Chain A
């Protein structure tokens, strides 16, 4: 099953449950409060997920390591390598 199918399956399952509760399709005569909670639920989920995404990406950007030490080490090794290669007879 492709990822697209998994998502569609998940979305349609959730959608079905949501529609059942919101419009009381099975005539379970659920308490009113259930319906009132259920109908804006997709929007809540979307906003929650959006906030989670922004917070996660923001945090990860802020904590993305800057490898200054690695760059310095590389620079030193480049100098060393150039000298050694020249001694070994490499002509550039």
Chain B
């Protein structure tokens, strides 16, 4: 067990950022994402920790994570593995239980979310005192890489439909690159019941419902060759079902 430093002695204490990285078969990507996180947190001089929540990956992700912990230290790399694949919401709850930061950053470990944006998230949060800052692919310099026309059309169409029906006050609802105040994430996670894409959407919608303030930072989303894109008919059906559920219940 890593000895934890005194937890937030006074209000003046520095902000600390806990990154939650749920992984499943990310043996290749995990060292790279960790390396990039360390690079940008280090350059910014921020206080941080990376919490890796591996759901029993058969490819040995956990073993790689242990090596990284040896290299970078137990104060920077925290391991919170679970036996088997469970929902994303419970992964956040599980990871947060041991998070020592007052801010939580959630992102994908597959390198589609680049850690270079984290300093921008942090500055944005400070600037407006936001309860959560969401990365957006749909505004400013934000965008995507590796999407064909069909994928773009579905994405834009689904986003437009969602904006019309829910008016959520945020431009990217299905993205999962976000920074939360810890207590805000805790209160949101316990309210959200959806799965998959809809989970992230529900988080934002509930945030708006609870009058939390939302800041946005444009991000580039890089879909890489060896992450097989997962947008079939099933996903679309479950997305629409989730959207309608939120429409009727929030």
Q: Quick one: which of A66, A67, A71 has the most chain B CB within 10 A?
A: A67
Complex contact A68–B145 (CB within 8 A): yes
Partner of A71 from B36, B146, B155 at Cβ < 8 Å: B146
- The interface residues of chain A, by DSSP majority, are classed as helix
Could you tell me the distance between the alpha carbons of A85 and B68 in the complex, rounded to whole angstroms? 9
Q: With the chains together, A82 CA to B64 CA distance in Å?
A: 13
Determine whether the beta carbon of B111 is less than 8 Å from that of A74. yes
**What residue in chain A is nearest B28 (Cβ atoms)?**
A92
Q: Are B160 and A67 in contact (CB under 8 A)?
A: no
Q: Which chain B residues lie closer than 8 Å to A53 at the CB level? A: 160, 164
Chain A CB within 10 A, most for which of B111, B141, B143, B250: B143
Contact of B212 with A by CB under 8 A: no
Among B27, B68, B145, which residue has the most Cβ atoms of chain A within 10 A?
Answer: B145
Question: Are A81 and B35 touching (Cβ within 8 A)?
Answer: yes
B157 to chain A: closest residue by CB: A57
Task: Scan B146-183; emit 1 where CB is below 8 A from any A CB, else 0.
Answer: 11010011011100100011110000000000000000
A92 touches B250 (CB 8 A): no
Check: B130 CB closer than 8 A to any chain A CB.
Answer: no
Chain B interface helix/strand/loop/mixed = helix
Cross-chain contact A81 with B32 (CB below 8 angstroms) = yes
Q: How many residues of A sit at the interface, in one of the four size bands?
A: 20 to 34
User: With an 8 A cutoff between CB atoms, is A32 at the interface?
Assistant: no
* A92 B31 Cβ-Cβ under 8 A: yes
Query: Quick one: which of B201-250 are within 8 Å of A by CB?
Result: 220-222, 224, 246-250
B71 touches A90 (CB 8 A): yes
Chain A proximity mask over B105-147: 1 for CB below 8 Å, otherwise 0: 0000001001000000000000000000000001001111111
Which residues on A sit within 8 Å (CB–CB) of B27?
92
Residues of B that sit less than 8 Å from A by CB: 27-28, 31-32, 35-36, 64, 67-68, 71, 111, 114, 138, 141-147, 149, 152-153, 155-157, 160, 164-167, 220-222, 224, 246-250
13 A-B pairs besides A3-B246, A3-B250, A81-B32 with CB distance below 8 A are: A2-B249, A2-B250, A4-B248, A61-B149, A61-B153, A66-B143, A67-B144, A67-B220, A70-B222, A81-B35, A85-B71, A89-B67, A91-B67
List 19 A-B pairs, Cβ < 8 Å. A3-B165, A3-B166, A3-B247, A3-B250, A53-B164, A57-B153, A60-B160, A61-B153, A61-B156, A65-B141, A65-B220, A66-B144, A67-B144, A74-B224, A81-B36, A82-B32, A85-B35, A90-B68, A92-B27
